[in-house]
Amino acid sequence: MAILSKIATNDRHGENSPYFDGWKAYDKNPFHPTQNPEGVIQMGLAENQLCFDLIKEWISKNPSASICTAEGVDEFKDIANFQDYHGLPEFRKAVANFMSKARGGRVTFDPQRVVMAGGATGANELITFCIADPGDAFLVPSPYYPAFDRDLGWRTGVKIVPVNCYSSNNFQITREALEEAYKKAREANINVKGLIITNPSNPLGTTLHRDTLESLVTFVNENNIHLVVDEIYAATVFKSPKFVSITEVIENMDSNINRDNVHVIYSLSKDMGLPGFRVGIVYSYNDTVVDCGRKMSSFGLISSQTQYLLASMLNDDEFVDNFLAESSKRLAKRYQTFTKGLEKVGINCLKSNAGLFFWMNLGHLLKEQTLEGEMMLWRMIIDDVKLNVSPGSSFQCTEPGWFRVCFANMDDETVQVALNRIRAFVCQGQETSSESPKKKRWQKNHLRLSFSSRMIYEESVMSPHSPIPQSPLLRA
């Protein structure tokens, strides 16, 4: 066979991460309340399924918004033939309007700067292609979204330099940590082209304060590098403090700030719960980036049918206002249900106010405070408790024992099943610790044998090269 490309044969996609291994465990044995009640519950998927009823209701009341209905079929030919990579003007206007509403109406967006991409994955890669070359690097505060390694580096050849953050200050990014990471990168002859942050944070579920954002803008301005802010969870804020967008910050800073180096990533996958529509947006203040990004978007356009439907939906101010308010209420309720349920069994989580997940601390359950200890506990949660939660090490967290838990991708009944499993698991551990030394020694040896067999099993069926029934790679 002829030699394949470096992209085809390298392993920078990141599919060999425990983050994706958890997906494979779920795909092999998915939970169903009646057909497979002992299956794995998917808690590693950041989907927002709490407001589909509102979208369904809107669609039923607005059949002409779809070109595939009797009421909308007259527009079928024009929409089916539309392929301008600028996008439908009414779609870009609707997206700009929704982005403003998702940020409390405190900032406006220019539809002429809205660049389309195939989901947030495509948007992140597109902006990377525009501002960095192979071998360049981005500073990224950790813990960070595991698929950033794929999105930012797999095809572009760009590196990630983690900026380590710690639980001692709730994993907040500091100017000192940035300076240290930047200095070490420069000493290693790494060309740092920018800083990439997520706000609200994935996996922390927290928002950045205005003064922190101002400090970051000042940092990139002083070093003449880019700032890319992933704001795809902007409308998932469910309690104070309110979300502050980077666009709001730079508009209130002095005129010496170089806006050409500031770029925003957005999507409708999280805020609207529409990941399958593959709506990704790059919003840049740099004219050259907008122009280049539009040309590059030819490789990942949003279908004209999707644009047409969403233009009608997002231009309905009454619907959008109600949707955003109701989504926030439902997310708050679900977050409260989960975290309060965990507190009853002694499990604490980082206090958060946004996102579709929380950052759970299981450090006290680790056999040893190491990466190996975290992996052992994670395998037990996957294989015995049958919950797919994502270990902190896959988010480049330097402190073992943290796990990201997604809470908005299931119904209320499944939430209770998941909580019951966690309670049973923790209570069983407490009972084991109080049993006789002889019995504990037997269980310890039995557990070690179980893990040995599991590791062999995982190596054979959870290999990143193994085919799986339903690929998680796009959905991730």
Q: Among all residues, which ones are annotated catalytic?
A: 145, 230, 232, 270
- Find the angle CA(49)-CA(55)-CA(57) to the nearest 5 degrees: 125
HEC sequence for the chain: CCCCCHHHHCCCCCCCCHHHHHHHHHHHCECECCCECCCEEECCCCCCCCCHHHHHHHHHHCHHHCCCCCCCHHHHHHHHHCCCCCCCHHHHHHHHHHHHHHCCCCCCCCHHHEEEEEHHHHHHHHHHHHHCCCCCEEEEEECCCCCHHHHHHHCCCCEEEEEECCHHHCCCCCHHHHHHHHHHHHHCCCCEEEEEEECCCCCCCCCCCHHHHHHHHHHHHHHCCEEEEECCCHHHCCCCCCCCCHHHHHHCCCCCCCHHHEEEEEECCCCCCCHHHCEEEEEECCHHHHHHHHHHHHHCCCCHHHHHHHHHHHCCHHHHHHHHHHHHHHHHHHHHHHHHHHHCCCCEECCCCCCCEEEEECHHHCCCCCHHHHHHHHHHHHHHHCEECEEHHHHCCCCCCEEEEECCCCCHHHHHHHHHHHHHHHHHHHHHHCCCHHHHHHHHHHHHHHHHHHHHHHHHHCCCCCCCCCCCCCCC
Contact in structure between 382 and 371 (CB atoms under 8 Å): no
- Find the angle CA(193)-CA(281)-CA(65) to the nearest 5 degrees: 175
Residues in the chain: 476
Contact in structure between 196 and 140 (CB atoms under 8 Å): yes
| Residue carrying structure tokens 């002429």 | 112
In this structure, the number of other CB atoms found within 10 A of the CB of residue 324 comes to 20
Characterise 278 by phi-psi region: left (phi > 0), alpha (psi -120 to 50), beta (else): left
Phi, psi of 67 (to 5 degrees): -80, 0
